[in-house]
Amino acid sequence: MEFNFDEIVNRKNTNAFKWDALPPGDVMPMWVADMDFKTAPAITQALSNRVEHGVFGYTQTPPQFYNAIINWWQKRHGFLIEHSWIVPVMGVIPALSAIVRALTQKGDKVIIQPPVYNHFYITLANSGCEIVENNLLYNNGAYSLDLNDLENKASDPYVKLLILSNPHNPAGRVWTREELLQVADICLRHNVIVISDEIHSDLVFNGHKHIPFASLGQEHGQNAITLASSTKTFNLAGIQVGYLFTQNSTFRKAVNNILVMQEMEMLSPFAIEALIAAYTHGEEWLEALKTYLYDNYLYLKEFIAQNIPGVTVVPLQGTYLVWLDCSALQKTSVNLTEDLLQNNNLKVNAGTMYGAAGEGFIRINIACPKTQLNEGLNRLKAGLQSGSAH
């Protein structure tokens, strides 16, 4: 089946956060992490069928929901999840919030690995936990884990959790089994529970493979909770559906108690239908999407090499969020992005959104038709060459 990712979908005036939460004018949004593509036709059809039914009352989560998740992870990632491990949630961030509340007390410490997804900071600040930063190492344009620093910080008895971004947003790294095992061993040694955010697990490119943290072995699986969703993969963020899974029944019960207390354990009928359709009938669309996204990445890489000297493209192994090293321009990330918005009508994310370790970087979303990508890159080029952004 052919899928037209070149189609321009007008999202303005649809209350799309990506497009409508911008200043008035002709702004090209290449910031927040959703895609400008229509979702898989099978999902649209499933939602349409549900709308036709006409009754949208309280909905229980059926066995097909769990089976779709189990089959997807076994086929796509070679990992067999058990039905009893899965807890449906309204989204990865609400689930993360519930996990932190369930497994920590005010004043406990939680490790994150900046530059990293900004909502980790927000969730931890709201929970009353102390943030401990285990910054990634950046050498020769690529990122790796600082395992010595992790060992040192995990040894603090007040550290209770590590939140792992796997694949990593915004660095675009897909962690190897060896890297993950080293993290897992350190955390097990120091009784630090691993929360593995694997929402980007299906968007992995060219010879790289997503390794589910829970697949590292029985001991490590018992010491971890995995967060996942169909939303990034199939552009369903507004549907608000996700799930967590863990082999550890104690963790699962504790998190469930928080979800019940917050009255967040019931999904909408549309969330259920969308996930089932995505995981049951969406694979062909996903493969076409990944090809298109990687072509966009290669185009961006070549464009910047030819037109924007001084900017380094960090290799993209996973996600559709490209991390650009602009430190040679000698301007702060915030000033750089503000100038691009004001002078060139281009909205990208400042690296410092993702922690102080992101200074000198910007994040750009390439999940859009090629004509939009080209327009955005030309605005980036014009901004950097005009003197407005350096």
What is the DSSP secondary-structure string of 337-364?
HHHHHHHH-EE-EEGGGG-GGGTTEEEE
Asked whether residue 2 is assigned to any structural domain, the reply reads no
Q: Is the pLDDT of residue 212 over 90?
A: yes
Q: How many domains does the chain have?
A: 2
Do 338 and 274 share a domain, yes or no?
no
Assign residue 247 the CATH number of its domain.
3.40.640.10
Are 316 and 370 in the same domain? yes
> pLDDT category, 166, cuts 50, 70, 90?
very high
Average pLDDT in the 356-360 region? Answer: 98
- pLDDT at position 390: 41
Is 123:131 a contact under the CB 8 Å cutoff? no
In a domain, 182, yes or no: yes
Considering 231, 248, 281, which residue would you say is the last residue of a domain?
A: 281
Structure confidence by residue, pLDDT tens digits, 23-71: 989 999 999 999 999 999 999 999 999 999 999 999 999 999 999 999 9
Q: What is the pLDDT of residue 386?
A: 59
Determine the 3-state secondary structure of 44 from DSSP. helix
State whether 29 and 90 are in the same domain.
no
Cis peptide leading into residue 170 (ω within 30°): yes
Assess whether 168 and 235 both reside in one domain. yes
Distance CA(322)–CA(297), nearest Å, equals 8
Say yes or no to pLDDT of 388 above 70: no
Choose the final residue of a domain: 240, 256, 281. 281
Tens digit of each residue's pLDDT (9 = 90 or more) over 269-290: 999 999 999 999 999 999 999 9
Domain membership of residue 47 (yes or no) is no
Q: Which domain holds residue 163?
A: 56-281
Give the distance, in angstroms, between the CA of residue 322 and the centroid of all CA atoms in the same chain.
12
Assess whether 182 and 325 both reside in one domain.
no
Which one of 281, 308, 337 terminates a domain?
281
107 contacts: CB under 8 Å, gap ≥ 6: 128, 129, 130, 158
Mean pLDDT computed over 150-177: 98
- For residue 389, is pLDDT > 50? no
**Mean pLDDT value across residues 314-340:** 97
pLDDT at 73 exceeding the cut of 60: yes
Q: Are 195 and 160 in contact (CB under 8 A)?
A: no
- What percentage of the chain carries pLDDT values higher than 70? 99
In a domain, 178, yes or no: yes
Asked, for residue 24, whether it belongs to a domain, the answer is yes
Q: What is the pLDDT of residues 258-274, one digit of tens each?
A: 999 988 889 999 999 99
Q: What is each CA distance from 295 to 171, 191, 205, 233, in whole angstroms?
A: 18, 42, 11, 17
The rounded mean pLDDT for the chain is 96
Task: Give domain status of residue 185, yes or no.
Answer: yes
Answer yes or no: do 36 and 116 share one domain.
no
Same domain for 223 and 126:
yes
209 has pLDDT over 90: yes
Is residue 3 domain-resident?
A: no
So what's the pLDDT on residue 236?
98
What is the pLDDT at residue 112? 98
Please tell me whether residues 245 and 330 are part of one structural domain: no
CATH number at residue 363: 3.90.1150.10
Percent of the chain with pLDDT strictly greater than 90 = 96
User: Beta strand 130-133 with 109-112: parallel, antiparallel or unpaired?
Assistant: parallel
Residue 1, pLDDT score: 87
Q: What is the pLDDT of residue 265?
A: 84
Q: What angle do CA 170, 175, 180 make, to 5 degrees?
A: 125
- How confident is residue 359, by pLDDT bands cut at 50, 70 and 90? very high
In a domain, 12, yes or no: no
**Same-domain status, 351 and 217:** no
CA distance 91 to 146: 29
Residues 305 and 243 in one domain: no
Q: Specify whether the CB–CB gap between 104 and 110 falls below 8 A.
A: yes
176 and 312 both lie in a single domain: no
Q: Are residues 186 and 236 in the same domain?
A: yes
